Structure 1
Amino acid sequence: MIDLLVLLIGVLILLLMIIKFKINTFVSLIVVAVLVGLGLGMPLGQIPVSIQNGIGGSLGELAIVFGFGAMLGRLIADAGGAYRISKTLINSFGKKRIQWAIMVASFIIGIALFFEVGMVLLIPIVFAVALEASVPLIYLGIPMAAGLSVTHGFLPPHPAPIAIAGVLGANPGTVLLYGIIAAIPTVIIAGPVFTKIARKWVPEAFVVKNKLSAFGEIKEWKLEETPGFGISILTALMPVILMAISTVYSIAANDGKPFAAVTTSAMKAGKVVTTTTYPSSIVENVMMFIGNPVSAMIISLLFTLVTMGWMRRKKNSEIASSIADSVKSIAMLLLVIGGGAALKQILIDGGISVQIANMFKDSPLSPLLLAWIITVILRVALGSATVAALTAAGLVQPMLATASPNTAALMVLAIGAGSIAASHVNDAGFWMFKEYFDLDVKQTLKTWTVLETIIAVVGLGMVMLMSIWIH
């Protein structure tokens, strides 16, 4: 119990540093990781090693997935591809079903873009559509935010699902497949359905506005200047398509198990010799390659350079500028993810995760529900969805010692759902939504916070439902 008290004190210190004293989140996470390590009685020499291992283990894969994902999204946006996708879907759905058009566009674009980037890119488009249709911006904003949030929490190649899958040993392709099944009903309930309720509950937020104070410079596109819908959507979804092909093939040809290298160790001449064997089939090797998030993002970025860069007759200097800008926007976020992973590793090496697992091992509650509850508590306390998810993944890892790969994938989704719940004043997304939609804090709590909580609850419900027949 003393160790759990140390964890509680550590979380409180983290909140004070971030909220009260406005200290940088990454710095706060590292300082608290050291303090928690000391409180847990870890050897002094082990603390920096655990921090290093936590950051290195997390960012090794994420650096490419996250970095290349940001580059891919920026290139699509700067070429006008995001505008083309949104505009085409809106025109196809018509004004009567405009909410559904925005939701579908946000969902598709959200798969390729990070939440913050997707919000920044879509708001000007959605505002223009709202003006044209004479509807309140938030009437379209709630479905838009629902589409972006669901993809951010549930679907690879987003950093949190990829990072959690890595910690829990789940196959990202399987997570993607199950994530899409869970995401579709979740985004419908949290989007168009919740909007009807919110309109009656917070009528003062549903006002038609002709001007928004949060807009900076907005690039205006002419549709004929943008790339075609087909090539735009193919480019945006390329990472998902590659991982989906690998997953479907593994289900058909390998009983759903991902193709992987097999490492064996044996004694030879008094020495331990490690041998790694890769699949003998060329097809299996290819599937193993394209199913890996790192290689999927590398292939996708190269494809994007062609379709959204050189085919658009962009100069190399323009492409380089887009890439540089995209990396600047995620540099600190990468460090924050690393800081969360460092704290997670301290909790694991300090033995807290085992204690929490032991506390709940005789609980009648499902491990999926327990993982969700732990993540929600961390999310409310810490604010950051990614940090809450990574910390929770470290805490529940011992529960999966004998679990199947399918259960691990469902656990990723349960944690992902919990990490979205109850966004409030300690979450950057809360303030982003407030400012973009010109709301006050009370209105934001009644719309954005409730929206995020609905996604978390419905997402959990879908995971529990799927667990009945997926083992």
Structure 2
Amino acid sequence: MLGVLLAIFFVALLFVLVSIIKFKLHPFLALLLGGLLMGILAGMPLDKTAAAMAAGFGGTMQGIGIILAITGAGGAFGKIINETGIGKQLVEGMTGLTDGSGALILIAAFIISQVLRAAQGSTTVALVTTAAIFAPVVANMQGVSPLLASLAICAGGIGLSLPNDSGFWVINRFGRFDVPSTMRVWTVGGTLSGVTALIVVLILSMFTNSLPGLL
């Protein structure tokens, strides 16, 4: 079940990205169609899929304007993720990575934070959710710095800013970029920054027992 739901999620996400980058489909339409596709592939009835998308869109929309309109479509996309159970399965499936120790815990925190960021667009939600997952894990492990775990989670929240992220459209509009250029400059640049931050965290983790303030 987990494998099927994850496959559906990645197919829908790939559909959105290809539609925007390759076929120049408007991101608003691409996100709505991606959410619809995900619901259909997951076996949701059309009326329930439409209701979930409407709820996600309506809950996110607070006004008018292209940034809020596209954010609303991202909310609909995220709502489908939750309604199909993909979000829950994604987190529960990846928490198996927390069975490791040391550097593996930091890498797992980074990955889960980044996947959640990509899935629903909000850095805040991704950070809070990932922190809630790892807080009890890190607290019960010897030799794992809570500070470094927090930094790894933050590093994961930096990258993979996709069109379901309001910040993506702030850069797009104020920078006067087209969508592909925004992805090259903002999405790729942010992801590289996050990976660089993770590398620094992993290097610091090698000195956890010797550097003051890490434990």
Residue number in structure 2 paired with 1:450: 188
d(CA) in 2 for partners of 1:430 and 1:30? 16
Identity %: 29
Residue number in structure 2 paired with 1:313: none
| Maintained 8 Å contact 1:385/1:419 | yes
Deviation at 1:459, TM superposition (A): 1.1
| Maintained 8 Å contact 2:101/2:144 | no
d(CA) in 1 for partners of 2:101 and 2:79? 33
1:376 aligns with 2:114: yes
Residue number in structure 1 paired with 2:175: 437
What stretches of structure 2 of length at least 5 have no aligned partner? 13-31, 36-51, 62-74, 210-215
d(CA) in 2 for partners of 1:364 and 1:413? 14
Residue number in structure 2 paired with 1:413: 151
d(CA) in 1 for partners of 2:204 and 2:169? 34
- 1:398–1:7 CA distance, 2 compared to 1 (3 A): farther
d(CA) in 1 for partners of 2:108 and 2:5? 21
Residue number in structure 1 paired with 2:59: 24
d(CA) in 1 for partners of 2:191 and 2:177? 19
Alignment of 1:219-234 (within 5 A): none
Secondary structure in 1 matching 2:57: coil
Alignment of 1:315-394 (within 5 A): 353=92, 356-358=94-96, 360-362=98-100, 366-394=104-132
| Maintained 8 Å contact 2:109/2:152 | yes
Cα-to-partner distance string for 1:273-296 (whole Å, 9 max, x where unaligned): xxxxxxxxxxxxxxxxxxxxxxxx
Deviation at 1:415, TM superposition (A): 0.6
> Which amino acid in the other structure matches residue 436 of structure 1?
F
Cα-to-partner distance string for 1:381-411 (whole Å, 9 max, x where unaligned): 2211112222222333453242369711111
* TM-score after normalising by structure 1: 0.28
1:462 aligns with 2:182: no
| Maintained 8 Å contact 1:423/1:449 | yes
> Which amino acid in the other structure matches residue 99 of structure 2?
K
By relative contact order (CA 8 Å, sep 6+), the higher-ranking structure is 1
What stretches of structure 1 of length at least 5 have no aligned partner? 41-342
d(CA) in 2 for partners of 1:368 and 1:458? 13
Alignment of 1:269-284 (within 5 A): none
- 1:364–1:373 CA distance, 2 compared to 1 (3 A): same
d(CA) in 2 for partners of 1:424 and 1:448? 9
1:423 aligns with 2:175: no
Deviation at 1:451, TM superposition (A): 2.2
Residue number in structure 2 paired with 1:400: 138
d(CA) in 1 for partners of 2:4 and 2:137? 21
d(CA) in 2 for partners of 1:467 and 1:460? 10
Deviation at 1:427, TM superposition (A): 0.9
- 1:356–1:409 CA distance, 2 compared to 1 (3 A): same
| Maintained 8 Å contact 1:356/1:395 | no
d(CA) in 2 for partners of 1:397 and 1:389? 12
* TM-score after normalising by structure 2: 0.56
| Maintained 8 Å contact 2:97/2:104 | no
Alignment of 1:101-112 (within 5 A): none
Alignment of 1:80-159 (within 5 A): none
Cα-to-partner distance string for 1:31-72 (whole Å, 9 max, x where unaligned): 679847xx69xxxxxxxxxxxxxxxxxxxxxxxxxxxxxxxx
> Which amino acid in the other structure matches residue 159 of structure 2?
A
RMSD: 4.2
Deviation at 1:456, TM superposition (A): 0.4
